[in-house]
Copies of this chain bind each other. A is one copy, B any other.
Amino acid sequence: MPVTKGTTIDPERTRAAILQAATPLLYQRGLDGIGVAELCARIGVSKETLYRHFGTKDGLVAAMLEVRSQRVSDWLAAAVAAAGEDPADQLAAIFDALRQWHEEPTFRGCAVVNAAAQHHDQTVRAITARHLDRYLGLLTDIAERAGAAAPAALARQLLILVEGATVVAAHHRTTGTADQAREAALILLATATATPPGS
């Protein structure tokens, strides 16, 4: 929300406020499910202000996806960092964090992946690819620290579990999806680290 009527102390603040307020609206209603006019009305900002900051509705969408992707990744990385040294504990912490996310009443799947399912344009696809890369980096670190025989392959399997759990939790009414994914992840981790071929 623009702090007052005229110039706020910091235009950058307005931009951030718009992003923060627009994110849940675009997430809940879908990128095409809410128009710019209603968006501005709910945010409490004029269209001119929004367009000066983001140029285009797509520009706003791209900016908000970027922020969202970074925030989620940071959140998962923090969960890993808080889980101690054991790679298995770190992996479990990721899926515990996912469960927490999935249980939020407003949960509707991953905003970034949902966006890619709607807009097939190149910008959104690139953001989504980077988003998955962030996840993959996190999981690769864990796989490497665990001493997996093929860390990259294991990390991709774990990424499939993370994304699969999110999709299933979003679209299928069943409880404990994240827990089942967690169990599967730990089995894959144990299998990939056991019996190193040359030992």
Binding site for B on A (CB under 8 A): 28-30, 32-33, 108-109, 113-114, 116-120, 125, 128-129, 132-133, 136, 153, 156-157, 159-165, 167-168, 170-174, 177, 180-181, 183-184, 187-188, 191
Q: How far is the CB of A179 from chain B (nearest CB, A)?
A: 9
Query: Which listed residue (B128, B129, B180, B187) contacts A160, Cβ 8 A?
Result: B180
Instruction: Tell me the bound Cα distance from A128 to B33 in angstroms.
Output: 19
How far, in Å, is A139 (CB) from chain B's closest CB? 12
Q: Which residue of B lies closest to A132 (CB)?
A: B172
Question: Please, how many angstroms separate the alpha-carbon atoms of A184 and B116 in the complex?
Answer: 26
Number of identical protomers = 2
C-alpha spacing A171/B108, complex, angstroms: 18
Q: A30-B119, A114-B117, A184-B188 are in contact. Are A129 and B161 (CB under 8 A)?
A: no
CB of A160 within 8 A of CB of B173, answer no
Q: Which one of A117, A120, A177 has the greatest number of beta carbons of chain B within 10 Å?
A: A117
Beyond the given A113-B167, A163-B163, please list 8 additional residue pairs across the A-B interface where CB-CB is below 8 A: A29-B120, A109-B117, A114-B118, A117-B117, A132-B171, A153-B183, A167-B167, A184-B184
**A-B complex: 8 closest residue pairs judged by Cβ atoms:** A164-B164, A160-B164, A114-B117, A117-B117, A32-B32, A132-B172, A157-B184, A163-B164
* Cβ-defined contact, A168 with B172, below 8 A: no
Q: Is the CB of B30 within 8 A of A118?
A: yes
Nearest CB of chain B from residue A127's CB, rounded to whole Å: 10
Contact partners of A165 in chain B: CB under 8 A: 160, 164
A136 contacts which chain B residues (CB < 8 A)? Answer: 172
CB proximity of A172 to chain B, nearest CB, Å = 4
Complex Cα gap A120–B32 (Å): 11
Distance between A191 CB and nearest chain B CB, rounded to angstroms: 5
Which chain B residues border A120 with CB–CB below 8 Å? 28-30, 33, 108
Closest chain B residue to A124 by CB distance?
A: B171
